[in-house]
Amino acid sequence: MNKSQAKKRIEELRKTTAYHAKRYYDDDDPEISDFEYDMLMNELKNLERQFPELITEDSLTQKVGGTVKEGFEKVTHEVPLQSLQDVFDFSEVKSFDERIREQAKEYGYNDVQYVVETKIDGLSAALEYENGIFVKGATRGNGLIGEDVTENLKTVRSIPKTLKEPIDIVVRGEVYIGKEEFEKLNEEREIQEEPLFANSRNAAAGSLRQLDSNITKQRPLDIFIFNVQKCDSKQFSSHYETLNYLESIGFTVVPRRYLCNNIEEAIEAINKIGEDREDLSFGIDGAVIKVDNIELREKLGTTFKVPKWAIAYKYPPEQKETIVKDIVCQVGRTGAITPLAILEPVKVAGSTISKTTLHNEDFIKEKDIRVGDTVVIQKAGDVIPEVVEVKKEKRSGKEIPFEMPKVCPVCGAPTVREAGEAVTRCIGIECKAVQLRSIAHFASKEGMDINGLGMAIVEELIERDLVKNIADIYKLNLEQIASLKKNGTKFAQNLIDAINASKQNDLSKLINGFGIRHLGTKTSKIIAKRYKNMDNILNASLESINMIEDVGPVIAESVYNFFSQEQTRDLIEKLKQAGVNMEYKEEAGDERFFGKTFVLTGSLEKYSRDEASEIIEKFGGKTSSSVSKKTSYVLAGEEAGSKLTKAEELGIQVITEAEFEEMIK
């Protein structure tokens, strides 16, 4: 490759890596695997090494990835939180050792010991203690300036608020989410129909960088400490000793750490971690090799981006060939139907793989995966097995193409794939696969508001076969509910009272409780008000629903399809027999905002957006997400953005929170 070709390729790589670094570090929403990103960065480094005159300051090889998120206070790190140089084979590890030993001899050191540690797959943070008390915590950011996330870090249980010694110290650690906790977190998000986290690292990063610490508190964050950044009152000579000391004063220190007398022992430790990584309760993305002698470290120094005394060995993803014996479909808790490849069992990265997700219909078509194909699989992020390639040259002609089912494989209800979506869904309200989510949503505040019937209780009721569908809630008796808890009579009576009270809810609450796709509280009220009772809704045509103001064609089709199903009609009949109200209750009251449309922007001091919207709707008004000529008022809070600008351009009346309060007095 000549200089002109290298320059063109370097520019392409800088653009690509900058885009993916932003997705990874700033948005916590990566599009490619860590390995794919590492390979792009490695290619960029090698080209810059060959053509050093093409290196520029804005290249990611010259700086730490990441920026400070808007909304957080900036924190300047007195000691930079640097990145690490990545290596991908043991020849590079040995080259690192040769360079270190050569320089060590110049400084009068005949022997070099190394510490090998697990490289935790999480988000780096610095914790500052004064007199043994935790006073400040910050993310790495760009290495020099991070985000003040003190309040969020205080919610992490494994971070000690007070140390066992009254010492001034700054330490560095990796905030992470364990493997099991990550799976549970994604399961909960699936139930709530929230986007799933791509991996545990981004789940941890997204959780720690929340502007609301109450959200962070709900996430299963943990931390491992792996370095002393600054400590003027205590001198350390060995990194390994500092880790032991940190553990003794109350920190949870990186658990897999090996003191090695030479590079051969270090490579053995790397292999040992690699062999054991499947059994670890947390994710890793490599092993770190560090010079143990702290005085020697200081002499070796650092570049702007990385220390010269440490490297990170990245484990390559192991790939194996196997046969697709069958493709079956499983139905998730949201009704999403996911094709699953049943494989000839094969051992990959320490575990036997006999099945793997094929994601959706588009993924199968893109790779042209057929039953009988020979495929190459690997573990994405060392956790999830995936098909990376089809060996089409090994086809015999007997391979069978796959088609998504037209009906749900669990309940037989129709399946739907909506325009613009990759997912095919079952829309059966009584499908066993979705019973947990549908029952929990029905009982939620947005639905029938049955206080006490939360996710854990619903799970227990299903497990004990006491509830199979929504209507079974109304068959529960005191004795059955009391058996769920020790001394549970009072709890049972309260829940029975809440269940009985829910029978009197307005029709709109019942409609919203069904969890119909695309339907929310606002549209449920519109439909209830338009049709007055459930029988009218059941008899409504698609054309009729389409004609309702503020109900678009996508919502109309979703509503019509739902109420047309035999399962739905059967459920509604059971609810009628249980005494659940099927009538719309006319809302007589103040209609001061009738015919008015509000747009909310920015953050309000006294109300959440949902609360403000509810007040507006209570007074007969409507809310919209976008500003147009039809907008009556724009309610602007702090940090109002482009909606405020557009309102001013269109001459729409902008009101403050104080003015809004005057209007609702």
- Taking only the tens place, the pLDDT of each residue in 365-409 is 999 999 999 999 987 554 568 898 999 999 999 999 999 999 999
Indicate which residue of 3, 7, 94, 119 is catalytic. Answer: 119
Average pLDDT over residues 214-234: 90
Looking at residue 513, its pLDDT comes to 94
CATH 3.30.470.30 fits 74-313, yes or no: yes
CB-based burial, 307-320: b 16+ in 10 Å, e otherwise: bbbbbbbbbebeeb
Average pLDDT over residues 227-248: 94
What CA dihedral angle connects 357, 361, 362 and 364, to 10 degrees? Answer: 60
Q: Domain coordinates of the chain in residue numbers?
A: 3-62, 74-313, 317-426, 432-577, 597-663
- Of 188-197, 241-250, 390-399, 486-495, which gets the smallest average pLDDT? 188-197
Token representation of residue 51: 């053509």
119 counts as catalytic: yes
- Per-residue confidence band for 35, with pLDDT thresholds at 50, 70 and 90: low
Sign of CA dihedral 607, 611, 615, 621: positive
According to DSSP, residue 241 is labeled H
Alpha carbon distance 289, 117 (integer Å): 7
Q: Assess contact for 310 and 289: CB atoms under 8 A.
A: yes
Better-predicted residue by pLDDT, 201 or 628: 628
Question: CA 85, 89, 94: angle at the middle one, nearest 5?
Answer: 80
Element housing 348 (H / E): strand 336-348
Alpha carbon distance 372, 375 (integer Å): 9
Is 298 strand, coil or helix?
helix
Domains 74-313 and 597-663 share a fold: no
CATH 3.90.1310.10 fits 597-663, yes or no: no
DSSP string, 351-412: EEEEEEE--SHHHHHHHT--BT-EEEEEEETTTEEEEEEE-GGG--S--B-----SB-TTT-
Q: Assess contact for 404 and 415: CB atoms under 8 A.
A: yes
Alpha carbon distance 146, 516 (integer Å): 43
Token representation of residue 215: 């959200």
Sign of CA dihedral 217, 222, 226, 231: positive
Helices and strands in the chain: count of H runs, count of E runs: 24, 22
CATH 3.30.300.30 fits 317-426, yes or no: no
The answer to whether residue 607 scores a pLDDT higher than 60 is yes
Alpha carbon distance 531, 564 (integer Å): 16
Alpha carbon distance 62, 78 (integer Å): 20
CB-based burial, 330-351: b 16+ in 10 Å, e otherwise: ebbbbbbbebebebeeeebbee
Which candidate, 219, 196, 193, places its Cα nearest to that of 207? 219
- Of 253-257, 487-491, 581-585, which gets the smallest average pLDDT? 487-491
Token representation of residue 7: 């320059």
Q: Could you identify the residue written with the tokens 């890596």?
A: 17
Superfamily of chain region 3-62: Helix hairpin bin (1.10.287.610)
- Cα radius of gyration rounded to whole Å, the chain: 30
Is 218 strand, coil or helix?
coil
Element housing 75 (H / E): strand 74-76
Looking at residue 399, its pLDDT comes to 95
pTM exceeds cut of 0.85: no
**Domain 432-577 CATH (choose: 3.40.630.40, 1.10.10.10, 1.10.150.20, 1.25.40.10):** 1.10.150.20
> pLDDT tens digits, residue range 473-524?
999 999 999 998 888 899 999 999 999 999 999 999 999 999 898 888 889 9
